[in-house]
Amino acid sequence: MRDEIVALLAQYPILTLFAVIGLGYLVGETSFLGFRFGVAGVLFVGLAVGALDPSVALPEVIPTLGLIIFVYAVGIHSAPALRDALRRQGWRDNLLAVSVLGLGAALTLAVAHWFALPGPRAAGLFCGALTNTPALAAVREQIRERGLARKQGAAELRRETEEPVVAYSLAYPAGVLGVLLCFECLRRLWRPEFQPREDSPEILVRNFVVKNPGVIGRTLGDVMRVHKDVGFVVSRIRHQGRTDIASSATRLAEGDLLVVVGDAAALERAEQIFGEPSDAHIELDRSELDSQRVFVSSKQVVGKRIRDLDLPNRLHATITRLRRGDVDLVPAPDTRLELGDQVRVLTRKDNFAAVREFFGDSIRGTAETDFGSVALGMVLGVLVGTMPLPLPGGHTVKLGLAGGPLLVALLLGHWERTGGICWLIPVSANLTLRRIGLLLFLAGIGTRAGHQFSQTVATSGFALVAGGALITFGVTLATLLAGYKLFNIPFDALMGLAAGIQTQPACLAYAADRSRSETPNAAYASVYPVATVVKIVLAQLLATLPGPEG
């Protein structure tokens, strides 16, 4: 029976792929002592299937393709969060991340010396203990290129490229459970107080009478340029009994009525700027002006700032609200529109058709993307990944097929748009691409490393598990102790920071559940890209260590 199953899986790789993914999901959703492995279950099922026979291994192109898709989607999505974080405490947080990852590399060197591990296995141990799949892929790519340059045989080349995967797989469980254990122990020891979860501020509408002498006779654009980041939008103005769209060219006169959209704090600022609030509700008069929600799906609009659209002059319209994902926002003039955004546009009723045509208004835009720009971005990422980067001492390192696409995606996600090319990917499409890529990668490397994995567990499995646990606990405890005691980082943000350094979504989910706030998510996003790139570089350096005989 076993031989028949092996023959079937070896003959039909596509069957093997979907069987590993399907069974992996079932394993990942099974609770072990209250913990679920999630998508990592695909890796473990892949190892079990690959252990049956080397012939069932999936083709190398499958994990390679999955890796590129995964890291590119992560980079595009993480770029705005990284940019915003660096403007706040990002430099401090990322310096802490780089420091503790350096400690992790030092611990890996000590473990490698203690247990006489060769470089590839030490690098895999580092990647597994810190649960970073892109770094593992970069190590495999480096070993493969080095073996091809030495003209190694196919069997030897495959054995060496799977060395890090075996160590990764043995260290990975402790890389997740160890972090969660540190979180729980220190949370009970320190008993930090978490701020209650804050809901997004309610967006309100209020009318104001222009009374402030400082704004009378000035244009609305001049007033708004003086007051930065006001957090509100002026949608309508009633002047001498006539209501119209408010634009930057609108000149304010005493007694004008303004309709202002914003949260409570923003409306208080509006009162200080314009004058006193009014009991009037001119926004309820929809005889001429009315609002409509439309989806942003036009390529001519995506990636552009609202001010650059020049809506008041082009369409006699203005955007009063923006819904991105599950969050309603009051947009600023510098807000860039993304595919799948839903905007509320105020305009004349007879102008609705023109507004829908301008923005695209296709719900398909929330799930689709321009795969031409995605493919072009991945091409650039692969090219960057293959470029050797010089290091001190005459050494070189490559970002590989993980680091190259990630770095390029971070840059493109920051730029958002280059000429006529929009690099952004809608949130729903991004999540789908990311998950597909990760599944392909984990299934591929699992089946290819499974046979060697079973042999290693029987010989040196305990040493690798113990070494990986030492690295995980060392890095996590250093992060928590330094962050909480040295930098006074709130514990909820610190858990998100540690999860980002670990690049582990399961740890982030735990942190968000315990703190019941969005703070861990923001901290996680602030260090995730830098942590990933640093791990890729350090893992490749560790892979160059000589074997025990060297």
Give the end-to-end CA distance of the chain in Å, rounded to a whole number.
Answer: 45
Whether the pLDDT of residue 501 is over 70: the answer is yes
pLDDT one-digit tens code per residue, 260-273: 999 999 999 999 99
Enter the DSSP assignment of 251. B
**510 vs 104, higher pLDDT:** 104
Contact 111, 117 (CB under 8 A): yes
Task: Identify the bridge partners of residue 295 per DSSP, sorted by sequence position.
Answer: 342
Q: What SS3 state is found at 394?
A: coil
Which helix or strand (DSSP H or E) is residue 507 part of?
helix 505-515
Instruction: Note the pLDDT of residue 269.
Output: 93
Question: Cβ–Cβ contacts within 10 Å for residue 449, how many?
Answer: 29
Sequence-ordered list of residues with C-beta below 8 angstroms from that of 228, at least 6 positions apart, any chain: none
pLDDT one-digit tens code per residue, 13-65: 999 999 999 999 888 888 766 656 667 778 788 888 988 888 898 998 998 89
**Average pLDDT across the chain, whole number:** 84
Instruction: Note the pLDDT of residue 22.
Output: 93
Q: Where are the domains of the chain?
A: 58-150+171-196+387-444+455-542, 204-366
**Cα–Cα separations (whole angstroms), residue 338 to 305, 331, 344, 470:** 10, 12, 14, 43
Enter the DSSP assignment of 284. G
Instruction: Note the pLDDT of residue 395.
Output: 65
User: Sorting pLDDT into bands at 50, 70 and 90, what band is 370?
Assistant: confident
User: Sorting pLDDT into bands at 50, 70 and 90, what band is 391?
Assistant: low
Whether the pLDDT of residue 103 is over 60: the answer is yes
Residue in the structure block whose two tokens are 């926004």:
283
Instruction: Note the pLDDT of residue 64.
Output: 85
Q: What whole-number percentage of the chain has pLDDT above 70?
A: 89
Rounded Cα gap, residues 413 and 407, in angstroms = 10
Residue in the structure block whose two tokens are 């073996």:
147
Considering Cα of 531, then 534, then 538, then 540, what sign does the dihedral take?
positive
Rounded Cα gap, residues 541 and 138, in angstroms = 11
Whether the pLDDT of residue 89 is over 90: the answer is no
* Radius of gyration of the chain from its Cα atoms, rounded to whole angstroms: 27
**Cα–Cα separations (whole angstroms), residue 21 to 32, 338, 451:** 19, 32, 18
**Cα–Cα separations (whole angstroms), residue 168 to 204, 346, 443, 456:** 52, 55, 14, 12
Query: Which contacts of 58-62 are long-range, i.e. CB under 8 A and separated by 24 or more positions?
Result: 58/13, 58/16, 58/17, 58/443, 58/444, 58/447, 58/448, 59/13, 59/444, 60/444, 60/448, 62/13, 62/17, 62/440, 62/441, 62/443, 62/444
Instruction: Note the pLDDT of residue 35.
Output: 59
Domain topology for 204-366: Alpha-Beta Plaits (3.30.70)
Instruction: Note the pLDDT of residue 105.
Output: 96
Contact 503, 475 (CB under 8 A): no
Instruction: Note the pLDDT of residue 550.
Output: 43
Instruction: Give start and end residues of each alpha helix (H) in 191-296.
Output: 220-226, 264-274
User: Sorting pLDDT into bands at 50, 70 and 90, what band is 354?
Assistant: very high
Q: What is the mean pLDDT of residues 322-350?
A: 86
Q: What is the mean pLDDT of residues 156-165?
A: 79
Rounded Cα gap, residues 456 and 198, in angstroms = 49
Least reliable range by pLDDT among 62-66, 86-90, 159-163, 466-470: 86-90
Edge-first strand order for the sheet with 275-278 is 242-245, 232-239, 257-262, 204-210, 275-278
User: Sorting pLDDT into bands at 50, 70 and 90, what band is 477?
Assistant: very high
Whether the pLDDT of residue 102 is over 80: the answer is yes
Enter the DSSP assignment of 55. G
Q: What is the mean pLDDT of residues 232-240?
A: 93
User: Sorting pLDDT into bands at 50, 70 and 90, what band is 368?
Assistant: low
**Cα–Cα separations (whole angstroms), residue 89 to 94, 229, 527:** 9, 20, 11
Sequence-ordered list of residues with C-beta below 8 angstroms from that of 400, at least 6 positions apart, any chain: 137, 138, 141, 142, 385, 536, 540
Least reliable range by pLDDT among 1-10, 355-364, 435-444, 513-522: 513-522
What phi and psi values does residue 196 have, to the nearest 5 degrees?
-65, 150
Q: What is the mean pLDDT of residues 478-485?
A: 94
Instruction: Note the pLDDT of residue 352.
Output: 92
pLDDT one-digit tens code per residue, 175-198: 877 888 899 889 888 888 776 555
Rounded Cα gap, residues 183 and 339, in angstroms = 37
pLDDT one-digit tens code per residue, 284-335: 888 889 999 999 888 788 778 899 999 998 999 999 999 876 678 899 888 8
**520 vs 460, higher pLDDT:** 520
Least reliable range by pLDDT among 86-95, 211-220, 475-484: 86-95
Q: Amino acid identity of 461?
A: G
How far is CA 128 from its chain centroid?
20
